[in-house]
Chains A and B, each alone.
Chain A
Amino acid sequence: MAIQRKANIHILDGNQAAAIAAMMSRVQVIAAYPITPQTPLTEQLSQYVEEGELQAEYVAVESEHSAMAVCTSASLVGARTFTATSSHGLAYMHEMLHWAAGARLPIVLACVNRAIGAPWNVLNDQQDSISQRDTGWIQIYCRNNQEILDTIIQAYRIAEQVFVPVMVCYDGYILSHTEMPVDVPTQEEVDKYLPHYKPHTVLDPAKPKNYNLVTLANPRVGVDGKLCHGYMELRYLLQEALQNSKEVIVKAGKEFNQVFGRDYANVFWEDRNEDAEITIVAMGSLAMEAIVAADMLREQGIKVGVLGLRVFRPFPKSEVVQALRKSKLIVVFDKNISYGSEGATCSEIKSALYGTYINAAVRNFIVGLGGRDVKARELVEATKKAIASLKETVVNPDYPEWICEI
């Protein structure tokens, strides 16, 4: 394989970029169940294993629930583990996602974002991963295929320091099946960046231990006389780990730059936000479309900037506030909907701004569900509509607007 040699540009789709990243991260156990649009990724990985290119155990499981069960067991006994899924597969994994995070296992999962039924739909939106928001996983969203490759490698570095699993999310088809130039690093570079995985616990028959058994509400004294965590203390530690992981994510991104020459010392991307009066917020590949929309609006003399969210969990509240401090209007585009409320990123932005003296109006648009094409000119129109709405009221509406033909 060419990737063993000097870094060079390959034309790769998102799934290929993810497979290469997992291989170069020297994953030891892969357990996955194929689902559109993730399938080519798992096929590629099983081929790497079959051909002996990747020294790993590929466990062909009967469901995504089992896939994550295999990953948790393998991770607990010290293997670097990887899985990937989409949509219904991720939903089916839900219970074990909680388990992986609760057991503090540094598993990396590639979520190839796809809509969820009913009705059946195999195309892209971000409802699947957003629905797993509260499972205790770090969530990082990619804008392009280079970011997929880079983020999966970084994800291991992050997860294995903070002992929190990481979900690397990228848009189905828009990225997973679209080829673009990707700079593939050498194995030496990845080895330099990624130390061996050291598990937080080592199973040893000479020193038998119970892990994650029935844990009562209150702390209890263990056989060694030490006061051990109750259920609530363990939940506190998971929240604390997520809170503290923000720093580790930024540091891992900075260190990535030192080895690979691409800087990820950020929790979101900004485009022309310094002098912007209006900021468009979007996540994943949608942020790239927002940049095109910002170009068009700038040409019309409207000072627009873009904030492309990269890290959704932990949500970077203070950084978002800092980035939005000059905005008079924030237009949030969501490829998901929290039914009965609004887009998930919009809620996060509003919550970050509350009580900060930033009095920007926030407008939320739901776009691109089930693979509905999102055109830059639609983002332009929506932004203009949001600007016009300020003449009527600066008060934020209760519910979002939808860009669809109803």
Chain B
Amino acid sequence: MGTRDCNHICDESSPGIGEAGRTGEWRTLMPVIDDKKCTTSRLNKPTCFLCWLYCPEAVITKGIPPLINLEYCKGCGICSQVCPVQAIVMVHEEKTAG
């Protein structure tokens, strides 16, 4: 069975989780949020959420604390760049087999 069965005439896709595959596999650096620094967590109020807004993969929750889905986080580091209080640092992660 070839790709003809998708019936697309030009390139087409629907937005959805994992639409571009397991983008977490692309990652070399991993974002880690320090809840003690994060304004949202510190005030225990839905306030900043700039990381949620800017994450191009939409893998950060708009919750308290904000959580990152590492299965799809591609490690681009944008969240760490936009965080106004430097609560997100990019760290080398130890990838374990399997």
Which residues on the B side are within 8 Å of A228 (C-beta)?
3, 6, 8, 12-13
Q: Which residues of A, 44-68, contact B by the 8 Å Cβ criterion?
A: none
The dominant DSSP class at the B interface is loop
The dominant DSSP class at the A interface is loop
Question: Known interface pairs A220-B21, A227-B1. Does A208 touch B14 (Cβ–Cβ under 8 Å)?
Answer: yes
Q: Cβ of A185 < 8 Å from any Cβ of B?
A: no
Q: Cβ of B98 < 8 Å from any Cβ of A?
A: no
Which residues on the A side are within 8 Å of B9 (C-beta)?
104, 163, 200-201, 237
Chain B residue nearest to A228 in the complex (CB): B6
The reply to whether A227 and B17 contact each other, CB–CB distance below 8 Å, is no
Question: Known interface pairs A219-B3, A223-B17, A227-B3. Does A210 touch B10 (Cβ–Cβ under 8 Å)?
Answer: no
Q: Cβ of A405 < 8 Å from any Cβ of B?
A: no
Chain B residue nearest to A219 in the complex (CB): B3
The reply to whether A224 and B3 contact each other, CB–CB distance below 8 Å, is no
CB distance from B32 to the nearest CB of A (A): 28
CA of A230 to CA of B21, assembled, Å: 14
Q: Cβ of B56 < 8 Å from any Cβ of A?
A: no
Which residues on the B side are within 8 Å of A163 (C-beta)?
9
Which residues on the A side are within 8 Å of B3 (C-beta)?
219, 227-230, 233
Pick the contact of A103: B2, B10, B18 (CB < 8 A).
Answer: B10
The reply to whether A211 and B11 contact each other, CB–CB distance below 8 Å, is yes
18 pairs, CB–CB < 8 Å, chain A vs chain B: A103-B10, A200-B9, A208-B14, A209-B13, A209-B14, A210-B12, A212-B10, A219-B3, A220-B20, A222-B6, A223-B16, A227-B3, A228-B6, A228-B13, A229-B8, A229-B11, A230-B3, A233-B2
Interface residues of A (CB under 8 A from B): 102-104, 163, 200-201, 207-213, 215, 219-220, 222-224, 226-230, 233-234, 237
